[in-house]
């Protein structure tokens, strides 16, 4: 690792997003998603699955009070994955074992939103929820409503399946964001008290466990960054080092030997430093890798960093959809094997792409490389944004690349492929995760160190950095033009990512290129114009991917395009794009010459060249699909 290029993302507080594309998304999150989720957390959305999250905190608060008063409290069974109305006592915990995290993710999104748009009313609402959350904390710092309500003796007894350390992670991330937004320390103090208990509980000569669903690793690092308390860093490192050691912790604690394969699911099959293939539950994977990158950086751990590089390489070059989606299989919401990327069975969870962005931001902070920046862009503009309807009112968990509504209805193998977005999920991880990512999108776009400012994503903004004030006027998505108006505090270097999709680009100033970044020496106030030629590309997938043979995907700039039935008729598989397609672009809609194969009704017949009718196909950015009712969709088109 070259520590001299280490950087740190620029804080949301130092970024004003002015970009029309992103401002609209931020507004959507602020005006639609956050208020909607507030109602959802309070179980006030008609027709949607209940969340129970706030209710659980209120119940837990009462129990915490009783404990303080030494009152006797009932015990409910804690051996279930999902505690719902039908099966539970009304006084017991309701929802999934990780239900608390929905409240935390909402609070984190609110934190970022308040930085962007101060809003007293929203802050009051958040403060009220924070009071409810903090009231539920036990005196020893423990805070997980499932175990506080149902069974205090079961605390930390099954790290593999229960999500106490996962919920802690989201609590810590929310606390940090809310503290940065408001300067209020109440939630942060609560998070630190829980963190202290965790540091007291886990480690050498203590319980040698680690989270079943990772996130605590990177969350502890965030607390360390705010508090400088090295115990948090140490415990994060412990969780990573201990993971995968034999005999397996989970086996020793559960008293039975699990087969090796089962540990792939939560990346505990071998120690992270020896991992080179992304396996198991995709969200857990990228959350772990994010923590690994954090520790690699803070502890200057080359072994861990090399593992991160290998995992990146494996994901980006063998396990990622062109849309930046990862986790190809619904079974275990997991990475499949290399090159297994079926379009119509894809899982490609929104949260997994969000987690991939978390991981790659950290990799960029260790070493700026356009491959990482490019992949963040790919995930952000495609799978992440497709997770939300254009009106911000419905959401996708799963982001397929090919959809036939009849198959989703009739084929159980495709039951996870929803042809229309859903309002709210009982397991609501994706919508609040989307809200917090979008609200803090600037933090994934810009970074700096002592003498360099990095622009990883071209999002129109005003940046206040240690090195300079920079105004970025971006027409990147429409024309590929970006203007940077720079007022330096001192001499520094500006590093601009050159998009890998762009073969023709120019800058108005001289630069040096390294790992796909253009480096400019800035000595005085100046303006740099970057022009990236936004031609339409026909992309071919490796022929090791069996589902994409003799097909292409169309991209323009960061956007992957797709065909929808509403524009191109049913049976999209009959379309063949021309090899010289003569593209037209109108706003963000693409038109191209293509052919429609005449329907062959006969199931089996002698081979003959097909007959085609010339057609002009209409393609829209992938993230905009499924906004005009249920219909067929396909990213890949035959050529």
Stretch that binds its own copies, among 163-171, 488-496, 583-591, 595-603 (CB under 8 A): 595-603
Does position 336 bind its own copies by CB under 8 A? yes
Stretch that binds its own copies, among 148-156, 235-243, 420-428, 569-577 (CB under 8 A): 569-577
**How do strand 505-507 and strand 512-514 relate by DSSP bridges?**
unpaired
| Alpha carbons 244 and 210: distance in angstroms, whole number | 9
Residue with tokens 């037209």: 584
Q: What token pair was written down for 490?
A: 């001192």
| Alpha carbons 142 and 570: distance in angstroms, whole number | 55
| Alpha carbons 565 and 382: distance in angstroms, whole number | 19
Residue 621 pairs in a beta bridge with 561
Residue 556 CB, shortest distance to its own copies, in Å, is 13
Does position 543 bind its own copies by CB under 8 A? yes
Residue with tokens 């890798």: 289
Report the residue number, 62 or 638, with the smaller CB distance to its own copies. Answer: 638
CB distance 321 to 389 below 8 Å: no
Q: Residues with Cβ < 8 Å from 490, sequence gap 6 or more?
A: 467
Radius of gyration for the alpha carbons in the chain, expressed in angstroms and rounded: 25
Among 20, 124, 185, 317, binds its own copies (CB under 8 A): 317
Stretch that binds its own copies, among 57-65, 135-143, 332-340, 457-465 (CB under 8 A): 332-340
Does position 613 bind its own copies by CB under 8 A? no
Residue 486 pairs in a beta bridge with 470, 526
Stretch that binds its own copies, among 214-222, 230-238, 312-320, 432-440 (CB under 8 A): 312-320
Chain residues 406-425 in contact with its own copies, contact rule CB under 8 A? 406-407, 410-413
3-state secondary structure 345-377: CCCCEHHHHHHHHHHHHHHHHHCCCHHHHHHHH
Stretch that binds its own copies, among 3-11, 113-121, 463-471, 545-553 (CB under 8 A): 545-553
CB distance 98 to 80 below 8 Å: no
Does position 541 bind its own copies by CB under 8 A? yes
Chain residues 345-374 in contact with its own copies, contact rule CB under 8 A? 345
Residue 610 CB, shortest distance to its own copies, in Å, is 7
Among 62, 231, 464, 540, binds its own copies (CB under 8 A): 540
Among 161, 331, 491, 504, binds its own copies (CB under 8 A): 331
Q: How many residues bind its own copies (CB under 8 A)?
A: 53
Stretch that binds its own copies, among 96-104, 157-165, 349-357, 543-551 (CB under 8 A): 543-551
- Provide the edge-to-edge strand list for the sheet that holds 452-455: 8-9, 446-448, 452-455, 492-497, 517-522, 512-514
Residues shown for the chain: 639
Spell out, one character per residue from 226 to 265, where the chain touches its own copies: x when CB under 8 A holds, - when not.
Answer: ----------------------------------------
CB distance 426 to 95 below 8 Å: yes
For residue 85, report the phi and psi dihedrals to the nearest 5 degrees: -50, -50
Stretch that binds its own copies, among 294-302, 505-513, 538-546, 582-590 (CB under 8 A): 538-546
For residue 458, report the phi and psi dihedrals to the nearest 5 degrees: -90, 85
| Alpha carbons 191 and 152: distance in angstroms, whole number | 19
Among 542, 584, 616, 629, binds its own copies (CB under 8 A): 542
Residue 262 CB, shortest distance to its own copies, in Å, is 13
Which residues of this protein are in contact with its own copies, per CB under 8 A?
A: 316-318, 320, 322, 329-332, 336-337, 339-340, 344-345, 404, 406-407, 410-413, 537-546, 549-550, 552-553, 571, 573-574, 597, 599-608, 610, 638-639
């Amino acid at each position: 690792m070259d520590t001299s290029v280490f950087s740190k993302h620029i804080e949301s507080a130092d970024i004003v997003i002015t970009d029309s594309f992103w401002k609209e998304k931020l507004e959507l999150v602020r005006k639609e998603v956050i208020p909607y989720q507030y109602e959802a957390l309070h179980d006030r959305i008609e027709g949607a699955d209940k969340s129970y999250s706030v209710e659980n905190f209120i119940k837990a608060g009462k129990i915490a009070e009783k404990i303080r008063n030494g009152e006797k409290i009932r015990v409910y069974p804690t051996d279930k994955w999902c505690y719902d109305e039908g099966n539970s006592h009304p006084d017991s915990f309701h929802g999934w074992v990780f239900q608390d995290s929905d409240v935390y993710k909402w609070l984190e999104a609110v934190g970022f939103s308040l930085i962007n748009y101060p809003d007293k009313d929203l802050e009051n609402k958040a403060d009220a929820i924070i009071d409810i959350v903090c009231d539920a904390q036990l005196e020893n710092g423990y805070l997980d409503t499932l175990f506080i309500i149902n069974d205090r003796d079961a605390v930390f007894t099954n790290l593999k399946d229960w999500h106490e350390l996962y919920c802690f992670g989201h609590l810590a991330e929310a606390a940090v964001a809310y503290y940065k937004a408001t300067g209020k320390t109440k939630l942060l103090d609560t998070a630190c008290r829980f963190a202290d208990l965790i540091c007291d509980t886990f480690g050498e000569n203590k319980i040698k466990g680690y989270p079943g669903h990772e996130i605590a690793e990177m969350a502890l690092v965030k607390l360390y960054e705010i508090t400088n308390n090295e115990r948090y860093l140490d415990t994060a490192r412990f969780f990573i080092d201990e993971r995968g050691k034999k005999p397996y912790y989970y086996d020793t604690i559960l008293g039975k030997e699990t087969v090796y394969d089962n540990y792939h699911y939560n990346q505990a099959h071998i120690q992270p430093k020896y991992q080179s293939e992304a396996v198991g539950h995709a969200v857990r994977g990228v959350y772990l890798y994010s923590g690994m990158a954090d520790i690699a950086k803070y502890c200057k751990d080359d072994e861990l960093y090399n593992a991160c590089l290998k995992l990146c390489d494996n994901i980006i070059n063998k396990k990622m959809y062109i849309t930046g989606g990862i986790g190809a299989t619904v079974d275990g919401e997991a990475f499949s094997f290399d090159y297994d990327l079926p379009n119509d069975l894809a899982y490609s969870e929104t949260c997994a792409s969000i987690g991939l962005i978390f991981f790659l931001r950290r990799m960029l902070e260790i070493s700026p490389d356009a491959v990482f920046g490019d992949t963040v862009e790919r995930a952000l503009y495609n799978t992440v944004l497709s997770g939300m309807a254009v009106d911000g009112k419905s959401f996708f968990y799963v982001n397929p690349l090919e959809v036939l509504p009849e198959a989703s209805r009739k084929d159980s193998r495709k039951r996870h492929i929803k042809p229309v977005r859903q309002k709210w999920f009982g397991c609501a991880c994706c919508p609040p995760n989307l809200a917090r990512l979008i609200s803090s999108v600037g933090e994934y776009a810009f970074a700096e160190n002592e003498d360099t400012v990095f622009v990883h994503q071209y999002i129109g903004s005003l940046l206040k950095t240690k090195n300079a004030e920079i105004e970025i006027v971006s027409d990147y998505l429409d024309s590929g033009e970006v203007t940077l108006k720079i007022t330096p505090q001192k001499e520094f270097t500006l590093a601009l990512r050159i998009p890998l999709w762009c073969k023709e680009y120019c800058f108005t100033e001289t630069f040096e290129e390294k790992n796909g970044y253009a480096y400019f020496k800035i000595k005085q106030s100046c303006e740099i114009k970057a022009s990236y030629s936004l031609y339409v590309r026909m992309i071919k997938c490796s022929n090791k991917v069996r589902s994409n043979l003799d097909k292409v995907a169309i991209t323009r700039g960061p956007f992957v395009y797709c065909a929808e039935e509403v524009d191109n008729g049913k049976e999209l598989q009959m379309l063949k794009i021309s090899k010289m397609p003569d593209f037209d672009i109108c706003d963000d809609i693409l038109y191209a010459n293509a052919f429609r194969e005449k329907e062959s009704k006969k199931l089996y017949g002698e081979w003959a060249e097909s007959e085609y009718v010339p057609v002009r196909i209409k393609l829209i950015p992938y993230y905009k699909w499924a906004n005009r009712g249920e219909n067929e969709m396909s990213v890949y088109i035959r050529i």
